[in-house]
Structure 1
Amino acid sequence: MGKKKQKAAATPAIAQLEQAGVTFTIHEYEHSNDDTEGYGLEAARKLGYDERQVFKTLMADTGDERVIGVVPVNGHMSLKELAHAAGAKKAEMADPKVAMRESGYVVGGISPLGQRTKHTTVLDESAMEFSEILVSGGKRGLSLGVDPHDLAQVLDAVVAPIGTTKKSY
């Protein structure tokens, strides 16, 4: 008798949560190519979530390493605070091509989970105000709902005040 074939996870992000035994929800929506509002804001609107509860994943370069920042879609990421949380002197946004190559995802679908290359991850402290936040599931039009405490544990993330309403990233 042959082995029963196990269904593969839809994305590496889902696979990482499944492997960790974390409870999560899958939220899909029809992504439109009209990117005037931004991928994260589109997800919040189409899924009916508060913009403070939907998080975007950004990659920065400290000169020594690349660092992942996870911040609410209605705000921005402070590069100064991200660098501080990662123990670096400064940080600048990583080139989108580098972010896509190292994460294994396309811009607009970069998840903090299941990345091709492991990076230090910093989760904005505002995530801890919610019992569930949404992060990209690894492709445009796919978000994952997860308890922020579980997310921080799975990613071995630093939780710090990296979100801001100032400079836009």
Structure 2
Amino acid sequence: MRIPLLRQLAVFALLALGLTLSPQIQAQTLQIDSTTADWIEGFANFVRWDETQETDPLKIGVINSPEVANYLAKRILNRTGRPSLEVSEISAHSSFEDLDIIFVGNGQKRHWETISSKCDGNGILSIGAQEGFIGKGGVVEFVVRKNRLRFFIDVKNAKRCKVEVSSKLLELALDPKR
């Protein structure tokens, strides 16, 4: 009879531990989503598109990350720099026509090559939230280092996509070879 009681206590302890850690994990995720949105918006000031005018709205498509899309949408009213920001939630199968930036959330690895091919030569900055994104043709890949959101940039992929990344932004990027 002691074994079932011990199992019950162990399950209860794990559940209690999970409940106490849950708000902290949720807060960290919300902070990462907010910081991700900050970086995505900030990239617009350090990237040049061949055919985009400074007066045109910045058009961002978000794939599989509604939280990041919501944070970006909240910035529409508080935007400085370019006059307006347009955010839409899309899928990997959507048309990327007229988009300037694509943000690809987690769980989309099977679509990375499709996404990359749609960005090639079309002036679309592709940003991914999972390890290996730049290896499959993405331009920017977010990573967490020492509890901070950082990023890699692949300059060759940027050129292929016809976006020019500022040297200032490149200085902030981590070296993907490390």
The structure with the greater share of residues assigned to strand is 1
TM-score of the aligned structures, taking structure 1 as reference length: 0.30
**Higher RCO, 1 vs 2 (CA within 8 Å, ≥6 residues apart):** 1
The structure with the greater share of residues assigned to helix is 2
Question: Between Structure 1 and Structure 2, whose CA radius of gyration is higher?
Answer: 2
